[in-house]
Structure 1
Amino acid sequence: MSNHKEWLFPYQVTDHAGREARKLALTLDLSQLIDCATRVPDVDTHTANCLDLLLTSDPDRYSILVTAPLGTSDHCLVKTVSTYSPSDRGPCGVRRVWRYKSAHWDEMRQFFASFPWRPACFSSRDPTSWADAITEVIRLGMEFFIPYSDVASGCKARPWFDADCRHAEACKQSAFLAWADARTRDSPDTRNLKKAYNQASKSCKKALRRARYDHIGRIGTKLASYPAGSKAFWSLAKAIQSNFCRPSLPPLLEPDGSLAHSAEEKANLFATLFADNSRLDVAGKTPPSLPPASSTMREVRIRQREVLNVLRSLDVNKASGPDGIPAIVLRNCAPELSPILTRLYRLSLETGLVPKSWKLANVQPVPKKGSRADPTNYRPISVTSILCKIMERVLPCVCNSFSTAYQRSAQTRHLWVRR
């Protein structure tokens, strides 16, 4: 650590490394913007000090905000904002969490039943536009009648964080702001306010620790009540694993021997590997020519009854595809959505075209045996649209019904000939 009394105040010792670091900053015309304490120990006799630096060549572009530490840490949260930063056009990293238990299913069914589907979705003969429009209407109904919250995708879940924890953190933040304001004004109450903040910080740590331990105890009691190895036991065990640890991929080995560390590098590596393994080497071969058939099969027509039966038998625990349409919505609104989806499936079958949105998939790499650093030891699992999976299940039902009807017709014809 480089100590310099001009930076890491209130330290009064400047070592050789500190002098060289400050000399380098002055040579590069760098200014240090942090001018307040960033570490506040919870011991009354210990002095708050500045341990965090922000060096920049253009200090007028940045604003600094120092707030109370997060959780049980004693290091303050330092936030800097650049007034000239371009808007972030990348992915926002926010996922939407739906609360299906609080959904208004009756209102949603009425919404789908009374929606003007024909002018909104069926104005052309393109299955892709039909599928996109139907998906948009279903998503609109979900936003209207299912409560939801947007959660940062990279944040660690804290299911144990309750109202007591929220109140304790609010008290700590309020005490910190009061102490920081008094310290800036050199108020005589600074020492008392520092003690009040330390007390609020300790109370906050106790509240967080108590809430977490109580949550773990409730989970343990619930696990003990389930039969070992049962479905309910393993479902809860998997939920615990996702709450208390963050699954991630280790650094992956690139073909050139380097390591892929970032999420983007890993995703690109897997995309290249899976694409190469899925590509067929036809070497310019032409498909074989088939002799003409001597008989023709009558037109296969998808009926609404088959679509309704498949919708009612959907597994609500299956993951949704890239379109975000969950199985629980399709199952609960099956009578209202079955005629709409029947028209879509009939058009796709008549035109011989698959909607482009059904060709997309969320690919999840699953490790196999061997080193997890080797990307070849992973196999891809593709999660596609549930609307496409429904059609894949409807077609065998239709073909089976057609085959049964044909067999019955043949038996009847055979009896008629014998007579």
Structure 2
Amino acid sequence: MTCFYLNTRSTKNKTVDLQAIVYSLDYNVILITESWLNSTIPDSFILPSGYVVYRNDRTGTRGGGVLIAVRMDLASHRHVELETYPESCVVEVNPQPGKSVLLSVVYRPPVYTNAGMEDMDMLSSFIDSIQSHQIKNKIIVGDFNLPRINWTLNEYTNDSRVLEREFCDVANACYLHQMVNFPTRFNKDGTGNILDLVLLWDPTLVDDLREGCDNIGSDHTAITFSIPILCKRVKQPKRTVYNFKRADWSGLKNALLSHSWNLDDNDIDVLWDNWNTSLCDIVDTFIPKVHCKIQNSAPWIDSEIINIVKKKERAWVKFKKTGNSNYWDKFRSLRKQSKSLIKRKRADFLFEVRDSLRDNPKRFWSFHKIKNPGKIPHSITYNNSTTSIPAEQASLFNKYFHSVFRNKDSFDIACISDNNNDTNSLCSILFSATDIFDVLRALDPGKACGPDGIPGKLLRECAFELSHSLTVIFNASLQQGKVPSAWKLANVTPVFKKGTTLALKTTVQYHCSAWFPKFWNAASTRKYCPFTANYFRWATWLYAKSVLCYTTC
């Protein structure tokens, strides 16, 4: 498990360089102090993808703040109950018996007055709580702003203040080992101090601890180290889509026209299952599928940037080992080239996004997701219950969304049965193939498909070939007075609105249902709007008053 630590002194202004280092060198864990972040800056702005970000931002004043980012393929869990120190973050990584690692990041502001003693008491209490935790492997990393300590001898110097002496006593009493042996911040006169510390109880837990090659403009030195523990990787789900660029459209259309759809069953669910199975079998024959590559880096970081950053890292390591000035000159040259290349690549990407906005708006909105929060937060809270377990999160979302729905029994639906005569009933409505064809051709192929996985582009391109068989299903649905059960399924996504992402009441609900209930609604309202309005007026919006929502119905 490789780790990267840095006091960034404003992460917001250094995100581009930080992303280049993190994604190029593929660190497992990122630890940052003095992040200078606030609630207006989303996690995706710092690291667009591939990492779960845990933050503890300073509130009220500028500066401070800490964060820990863990790769998504590593299981992790935040321990908020252990974060007793104001600017601290505690995360358990690789939760396995005997192999769990409790990582803590701390920022102690440079306070040396009487308030500093109170701060030191809180820091001592924090260290005690970490030490007493049941997890065996524990590491504390951070900027402690205690320069007058001789860490070679693990004791304070003659000119040390009370705070340095107090911290040395705490470290010795807790049997802590401080592993950093090089200056992490230099003064104007060229002298350096060890302000950033790596503290642990077992000195064998950290391996290959060294000075990082690039501080990305910070006045502190980066620290890299590895933890020699075999980690269990969480497999990321693979997403498979149709490759329409290699589709045999003519062969597909001929196969759809000549196929016998077997739509004689009276059960609407059986009808739909037969139709859906036949369609998928035919489409798979004429349109190949591809696996979508999961984007685990910023979109402008390509192989050219990754290669030059790795070369810079190798030159730095050789210089630190040998002290050869040639490696130093090579490192400086590569550092200059990498900064220029990163800046140019990002600018080129932004220009491409701008120029392709009209022809490919999806690319713009994909980039927009980087700049704005849209993901489900790692931890959520509802009714004083906080969880980061996916199944429990889904349960909390379900309880909240259900709580803001109106009770259907409060509606007076007697008016529907009053108008339900022989000439104005569902059984008297019949769709024609032309009605279905018009709806299919009006589809937006850029919209996402629902749980059935049938793309809108496929339905639009094969509108004529599918309209006749779909007409049979739609008319059967009307005559039986029921819709297929599969049409009631939808992908429900919480959409963050404002406030903290941890609170469910700051989210609204967005449905992505299958195409076919939308067709049914669109086709019926087009031709029979006066009748169907009586059925859908009360059922379209079932949310509580003053609670904002989206719906695709």
TM-score range, shorter chain: 0.5 to 0.7
Deviation at 1:200, TM superposition (A): 1.1
Alignment of 1:249-268 (within 5 A): none
Alignment partner of 1:275 is 2:402: yes
Deviations 1:198-237 (A, max 9, x none): 32122111211233345556667x59xxxxxxx959x699
Match of 1:53 among 176, 194, 198: 198
Residues 214 and 362 of structure 1, relative CA distance in 2, 3 Å threshold = same
- 2:234 matched residue in structure 1: 88
In structure 1, give the amino acid aligned to 2:307: A
Residues 378 and 121 of structure 1, relative CA distance in 2, 3 Å threshold = same
Residues 217 and 88 of structure 1, relative CA distance in 2, 3 Å threshold = closer
In structure 2, give the amino acid aligned to 1:150: I
Match of 1:107 among 237, 241, 248: 248
Q: Aligned equivalents of 1:8 and 1:336: distance in 2?
A: 82
In structure 1, give the amino acid aligned to 2:222: H
Q: Aligned equivalents of 2:171 and 2:338: distance in 1?
A: 37
Q: Identify unmatched segments of 5+ residues in structure 1.
A: 224-230, 404-419
- 1:23 matched residue in structure 2: 172
Alignment of 1:280-295 (within 5 A): 280=407, 282=409, 295=422
- 2:339 matched residue in structure 1: 205
In structure 2, give the amino acid aligned to 1:309: D
Deviations 1:355-380 (A, max 9, x none): 2353324244474xxx7468657654
Alignment partner of 1:177 is 2:304: no
Alignment of 1:103-142 (within 5 A): 103-104=244-245, 106-107=247-248, 110-111=251-252, 113-114=254-255, 126=270, 129-130=273-274, 133=277
Query: Contact (CA 8 Å) 1:250, 1:372: kept in 2 or not?
Result: no
Query: Contact (CA 8 Å) 1:330, 1:337: kept in 2 or not?
Result: yes
Deviation at 1:389, TM superposition (A): 0.9
Q: Aligned equivalents of 2:330 and 2:363: distance in 1?
A: 41
Q: Aligned equivalents of 1:141 and 1:318: distance in 2?
A: 24
Deviation at 1:266, TM superposition (A): 8.4
Q: CA RMSD in A?
A: 6.1
Alignment of 1:291-330 (within 5 A): 295=422, 300-330=429-459
- 2:330 matched residue in structure 1: 196
In structure 2, give the amino acid aligned to 1:276: S
In structure 1, give the amino acid aligned to 2:333: Q
Give the secondary-structure state (helix, strand or coil) at the position aligned to 1:201: helix
Deviation at 1:330, TM superposition (A): 2.1
Q: Aligned equivalents of 2:463 and 2:285: distance in 1?
A: 14
Deviation at 1:170, TM superposition (A): 0.7
Alignment of 1:295-374 (within 5 A): 295=422, 300-339=429-468, 341-342=470-471, 344-346=473-475, 348-349=477-478, 352-356=482-486, 358-365=488-495, 367=497, 372=499
Structure of higher CA gyration radius: 1
In structure 1, give the amino acid aligned to 2:372: R
Residues 279 and 20 of structure 1, relative CA distance in 2, 3 Å threshold = farther
- 2:513 matched residue in structure 1: 384
Q: Identify unmatched segments of 5+ residues in structure 2.
A: 1-143, 533-553
Deviations 1:290-320 (A, max 9, x none): 6897747666554443322211111234343
Q: Aligned equivalents of 1:7 and 1:94: distance in 2?
A: 50
Give the secondary-structure state (helix, strand or coil) at the position aligned to 2:437: helix
- 1:242 matched residue in structure 2: 368
- 1:228 matched residue in structure 2: none
Q: TM-score normalized by structure 1?
A: 0.58
Residues 217 and 300 of structure 1, relative CA distance in 2, 3 Å threshold = closer
Query: Contact (CA 8 Å) 2:255, 2:282: kept in 1 or not?
Result: no
Number of residue equivalences: 365
Paired-residue identity, % = 15
Would you tell me which structure has more helix in proportion to its own residues? Answer: 1
Residues 38 and 138 of structure 1, relative CA distance in 2, 3 Å threshold = farther
Give the secondary-structure state (helix, strand or coil) at the position aligned to 2:511: strand
Match of 2:522 among 389, 393, 407: 393
